[in-house]
């Protein structure tokens, strides 16, 4: 049987910091303030309006803006890659900061110094024999592009994004094994500021047509990257969604039909377009009922059909429960969901469900019949650094052990799995709630929610467990 590549993942805005170094421009994530969870919900930290962004722009320094510091990867990447090498991972997923390469986003030429930062990373990863999986855009968008052009609702964004992507494809055409045009493309729907760079004037609701027009522009941009990539580049190209693994609350037909609708609209839609190459028919009714009117040209349709993804990928953290009528809710990745009485949840309310990853792998493979990369999975928790600099995260080891077992079961079910990437393999700032203390890593980064700490790296107990797991797996 084909061997699964075991790896890890981070994103530039959550990891790098150095928000103003070497000519980097300000991006959308640099403007998101941290608020304690006691006073603000995660959703509030994701839906930014002009006033909040203007305050952020006026503030010089890191202060209350944790993405400006990340886990200081910009200064620690060499040490971090050494740790990944020692860990023995097969593949590393990371993203490129758009505003580092094109500070405003609409410049003609890229920032060479920023490219050299990634050159060094790629060189070191190759020397360590770690395969490279690049996310071209993981949420962070140059702020100037959303202020001047209104983000992805403007079709011109396709050209600016493609200019950025082409620089990366040309420069690392022989080095990168897997390319992903966008992180969790369906996030644009739940989190329009992060996903598609739509900024509200005040606290009004988002305009649904603008959201879906923006998503359409990202679909076209993704197909353009795949078109160019297939002609000029060695690696394979994927698409990715956040997966939600829906269960119906009861056997009631109404709950089960609601399950199909939620799956269609929130999970399958984007992937149907990118992996099959056309808009699914179920969206016609959704668009009609939600008064959504978008512009899709014939040449867009042809492009989408001709340039679909080679592999599919998803993030999986927890499963969800669906009912036709409202019921008691808990939090999850990007969305909230009904509580499942059979599952435990993390401190953040995300329901832990190892069998859900097996369900998800089977569902995705049955639907698309394309190889799969699990682009993100892991446990966000509040770890304790002991006085002797150890971290006893036995709960993370159990989480990983149970999920890995189900992943291997899915492979035995016949699912074609390329790789598994453990999310936030080195502690990073949480994308949802801007907290440093929601940790996923097997490597601890000594910093708190206020950005205080040495930023030194320490191996957690899960580091040694994952190291042994990979070693045994390859024997």
Q: Give me the least distance between CB of 331 and ligand BG6, in Å please.
A: 9
Binding mask 165-184 for ligand BG6 (x = CB under 6 A): ------------------xx
Q: Which residue from 4, 7, 8, 11 is in contact with ligand BG6, where contact means CB under 6 A?
A: 11
Between CA 171 and CA 374, with CA 419 as vertex, the angle to 5 degrees is: 100
Binding mask 40-59 for ligand BG6 (x = CB under 6 A): --------------------
Binding mask 414-443 for ligand BG6 (x = CB under 6 A): ---------x------xxxx----x-----
CB 297 within 8 A of CB 242: no
Q: Does 186 bind ligand BG6 (CB under 6 A)?
A: no
CA separation, residue 355 to residues 292, 455, 458 (Å): 36, 35, 31
Provide the sign of the torsion angle of the four alpha carbons 298, 261, 237, 176, taken in this order: positive
Q: How far apart are CA 436 and CA 428, in angstroms?
A: 6
Helix axes 461-473, 73-87, angle to 10 degrees: 50
Residue 290: count other Cβ atoms within 10 Å of its Cβ: 13
User: Is 184 assigned a catalytic role?
Assistant: yes
Count of residues of this chain found to bind ligand BG6 when the rule CB under 6 A is applied: 16
Scan residues 231-260 and list those touching ligand BG6 (CB under 6 A): 242
Q: For residue 18, how far is the Cα from the chain centroid?
A: 20
Q: Which is the catalytic residue, given 16, 210, 376, 435?
A: 376
* Residue entry with tokens 């700032």: 429
Nearer to ligand BG6 (CB atom), residue 88 or residue 192: 192
Nearer to ligand BG6 (CB atom), residue 279 or residue 348: 348
The answer for 23, left when phi > 0, alpha when psi is -120 to 50, beta otherwise, is left
DSSP state of 268: I
Binding mask 331-370 for ligand BG6 (x = CB under 6 A): --xx------------------------------------
Nearest residue to ligand BG6, using CB? 432
Q: Give me the least distance between CB of 183 and ligand BG6, in Å please.
A: 5
Q: Give me the least distance between CB of 424 and ligand BG6, in Å please.
A: 6
Q: How far apart are CA 132 and CA 176, in angstroms?
A: 5
Active site residues: 184, 376
Question: Residues in the site for ligand BG6, rule: CB under 6 A?
Answer: 11, 14, 183-184, 242, 315, 333-334, 376, 380, 423, 430-433, 438
């Amino acid at each position: 049987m084909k061997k699964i590549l075991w790896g890890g993942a981070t994103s530039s805005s959550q990891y790098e910091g150095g928000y103003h170094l070497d000519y980097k421009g300000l991006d959308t994530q640099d403007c998101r303030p941290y608020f304690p969870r006691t006073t603000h919900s995660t959703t509030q930290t994701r839906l930014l309006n002009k006033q909040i962004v203007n305050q952020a722009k006026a503030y010089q320094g890191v202060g209350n803006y944790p993405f400006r510091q990340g886990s200081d990867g910009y200064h620690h990447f060499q040490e971090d890659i050494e740790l990944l090498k020692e860990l023995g991972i097969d593949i590393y997923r990371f993203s490129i900061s758009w505003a580092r390469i094109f500070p405003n986003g609409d410049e003609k030429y890229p920032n060479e110094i920023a490219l050299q930062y990634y050159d060094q990373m790629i060189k070191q990863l190759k020397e360590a024999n770690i395969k490279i999986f690049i996310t071209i855009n993981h949420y962070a968008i140059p702020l100037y592009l959303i202020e001047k052009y209104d983000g992805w609702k403007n079709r011109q964004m396709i050209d600016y994004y493609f200019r950025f992507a082409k620089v990366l494809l040309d420069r690392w055409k022989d080095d990168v094994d897997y390319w992903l045009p966008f992180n969790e493309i369906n996030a644009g729907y739940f989190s329009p500021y992060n996903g598609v760079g739509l900024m509200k004037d005040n606290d009004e609701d988002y305009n649904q047509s603008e959201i879906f027009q923006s998503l359409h522009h990202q679909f076209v941009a993704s197909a353009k990257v795949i078109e160019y990539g297939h002609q000029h580049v060695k690696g394979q190209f994927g698409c990715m969604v956040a997966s939600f693994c829906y269960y119906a609350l009861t056997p009631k037909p109404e709950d089960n039909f609601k399950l199909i609708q939620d799956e269609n609209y929130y999970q399958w839609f984007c992937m149907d377009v990118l992996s099959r190459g056309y808009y699914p028919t179920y969206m016609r009714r959704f668009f009609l009922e939600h008064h959504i009117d978008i512009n899709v040209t014939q040449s867009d349709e042809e492009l989408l059909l001709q340039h679909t993804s080679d592999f599919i990928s998803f993030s999986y953290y927890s499963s969800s429960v669906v009912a036709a009528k409202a019921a008691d809710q808990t939090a999850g990745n990007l969305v909230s969901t009904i509580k499942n009485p059979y599952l435990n949840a993390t401190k953040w309310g995300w329901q832990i469900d190892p069998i859900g990853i097996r369900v998800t792998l089977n569902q995705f493979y049955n639907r698309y019949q394309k190889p799969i990369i699990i682009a993100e999975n892991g446990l966000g928790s509040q770890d304790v650094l002991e006085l002797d600099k150890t971290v006893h995260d036995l709960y993370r080891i159990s989480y990983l052990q149970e999920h890995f077992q189900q992943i291997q079961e899915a492979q035995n079910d016949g699912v074609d799995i390329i790789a598994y990437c453990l999310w936030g393999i080195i502690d990073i700032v949480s994308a949802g709630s801007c907290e440093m203390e929601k940790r996923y890593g097997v490597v601890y980064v000594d910093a708190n929610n206020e950005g205080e700490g040495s930023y030194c790296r320490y191996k957690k107990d899960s580091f040694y467990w994952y190291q042994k797991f990979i070693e045994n797996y390859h024997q």
